[in-house]
Structure 1
């Protein structure tokens, strides 16, 4: 696998578990050059360092043209914090990426309705949120924006922040179960929710009803990447592998993009992984590095990986 200049040999040298998928890139043709460039890179993962941005092991520069946002509108670069879950659209060569759009992709925004006795689990919009450390200073009724990654039906959180809107939000991949539309593991209803394609990514803003367990939508966005850096040629993704009914039998939870069908992913089932590869409607991952649990451990490892890409 390569994260820019990062390879399996580098991974083994660092003591990192890694695997490559030989010949995968040949299974599809990457997008042709876009406006004289090499196509955009879509990055999904946690912000682990500043000094530009380190996201999913990628060193990404910013400039005056970089736009920042979350599910409720525009942000400033100064609003970003370590642990934020980001979607980045970047232009340039893999070792010289410049962000055109940085979006804080909260899986959940809403009120805390339950706090477990061990204070390491809370419930937001009917979804269990698991924390790396014990909850401090927040109780039932507080409104939070959750950063982190979907893992099956729950979210593994990397950061909790005060919600900046009175509206609720869920963002993740779309499923149809028993006539219901779900984003992540939240049932959604309302304008636009019935037309979002199964398996795609959606972000739904509205109000969550605790009694029914339904988020009633006011606005639906059905795209993770907007084309800010041109058509995507590559993806760099951090996430958990969940089982899927379609080949190759797995998906990255919450991503909304399918893998190339010929990948062999069994050894990464249920793991938190970092994957990189070509993209042309499907994700042709070249390989994977298994990431540790716990934000501090992830940060140390991804910092070492990003140093290889410069």
Structure 2
């Protein structure tokens, strides 16, 4: 009888282990099957489909663009819009599977203490974009540089009912408030589990110098991605050596912080939340094919 009990227990244990392995395998994305897409974050430079970071991406003109303001489809994207694209490779190049419009700032235009234009308390460098007036509600496309946004496209919003939005990098606690993105103070939600370098998206109501949040999300992609190609500017390295490409959610560490130039726009590759270079291409799990296609 004892032998029978042991045999049954052994069989049950084997069945449990095999089902656990199958469940784990089911939950893991299939890299070889092409299920995991490649992330491309940057500014649209040309049309004819779209060109981002030097990559030609085929699009379905009728594909909705997530988080777009005003709501648009992929065929309505314009040069200067900043986007986060999940793309997969086919015989003739990249094909977009999902597009999110990346808008660092949506809110009313105000005048800062130095007379410069701000949105939600953050200075906006227009670089010759359409003039904006105090009180205008605008959707700002562009890249973070330091604590300001260098706009690549600004669109005035019509109507009176708009939701303020803020999308940028959390760099840790700030003397102004527990959560500050750029120069914008975020109230209404206490940050939990945020790590320096995280990409944060905040939705809420515009306040003087910031935003009162009713929703906070992290990351730019709607699903898991493998390799990421990102355009942006480096953050100032922290005492720990941590730095990021602002607006990316990708981090790295440097023991030579003086070598990090925050004034130069860069295009970098990342994988699994980290900035990477060609020396790490042979690491286990690295998507070598996508990295080669992107020039990583």
Q: Give the TM-score taking structure 1 as reference length.
A: 0.69
Return structure 1 stretches of 4+ with deviation > 4 angstroms: 64-67, 71-74, 115-118, 246-249, 262-268
The equivalent residue for 1:5 is none
| 8 Å Cα contact 1:196/1:202 also seen in 2 | no
The equivalent residue for 1:52 is 49
The equivalent residue for 1:258 is 251
Partners of 2:69 and 2:83 in 1: CA distance? 14
The equivalent residue for 1:222 is 218
Matched, 1:159 2:153: yes
Unaligned runs of 5+ in 2: 1-27, 280-293
Deviations 1:67-86 (A, max 9, x none): 41126695312332210111
Q: Alpha carbons of 1:278 and 1:217: their partners in 2 closer, same or farther (altered >3 Å)?
A: closer
Higher mean alpha-carbon deviation, 154-163 vs 60-69, is at 60-69
Task: Give the secondary structure class of the aligned counterpart of 1:198.
Answer: coil
Q: CA deviation at 1:271?
A: 3.2
Matched, 1:90 2:87: yes
Q: CA deviation at 1:249?
A: 4.2
> Which of 249, 273, 277 is the equivalent residue of 1:285?
277
Q: Alpha carbons of 1:171 and 1:277: their partners in 2 closer, same or farther (altered >3 Å)?
A: closer
Higher mean alpha-carbon deviation, 160-169 vs 57-66, is at 57-66
Rg bigger for which structure? 2
The equivalent residue for 1:147 is 141
| 8 Å Cα contact 2:165/2:201 also seen in 1 | yes
| 8 Å Cα contact 1:181/1:187 also seen in 2 | yes
Q: CA deviation at 1:168?
A: 1.1
Q: Alpha carbons of 1:75 and 1:221: their partners in 2 closer, same or farther (altered >3 Å)?
A: farther
Deviations 1:131-187 (A, max 9, x none): 111653x31111100111111111111111023651211110123223511223311
Which structure is higher in helix share?
A: 2
The equivalent residue for 1:106 is 103
Partners of 1:150 and 1:85 in 2: CA distance? 11
Deviations 1:85-141 (A, max 9, x none): 1111111269721111111111101111128999xx5211111101111653x3111
Aligned alpha-carbon RMSD (Å): 3.2
> Which of 218, 229, 239 is the equivalent residue of 1:236?
229
> Which of 92, 111, 125 is the equivalent residue of 2:120?
125
Partners of 1:117 and 1:187 in 2: CA distance? 18
Q: Give the TM-score taking structure 2 as reference length.
A: 0.72
Which structure is higher in strand share?
A: 1
Superposed, which structure 2 residues align to 1:57-96 within 5 Å? Answer: 57-63=54-60, 66-70=63-67, 75-92=72-89, 96=93
Partners of 2:92 and 2:256 in 1: CA distance? 27
> Which of 245, 269, 275 is the equivalent residue of 2:261?
269
| 8 Å Cα contact 1:169/1:203 also seen in 2 | yes
Deviations 1:257-286 (A, max 9, x none): 213x46977545113333343512312134
| 8 Å Cα contact 2:242/2:251 also seen in 1 | no
Aligned length: 249
| 8 Å Cα contact 2:174/2:180 also seen in 1 | yes
| 8 Å Cα contact 1:111/1:125 also seen in 2 | yes
The equivalent residue for 1:205 is 203
Q: Alpha carbons of 1:78 and 1:277: their partners in 2 closer, same or farther (altered >3 Å)?
A: closer
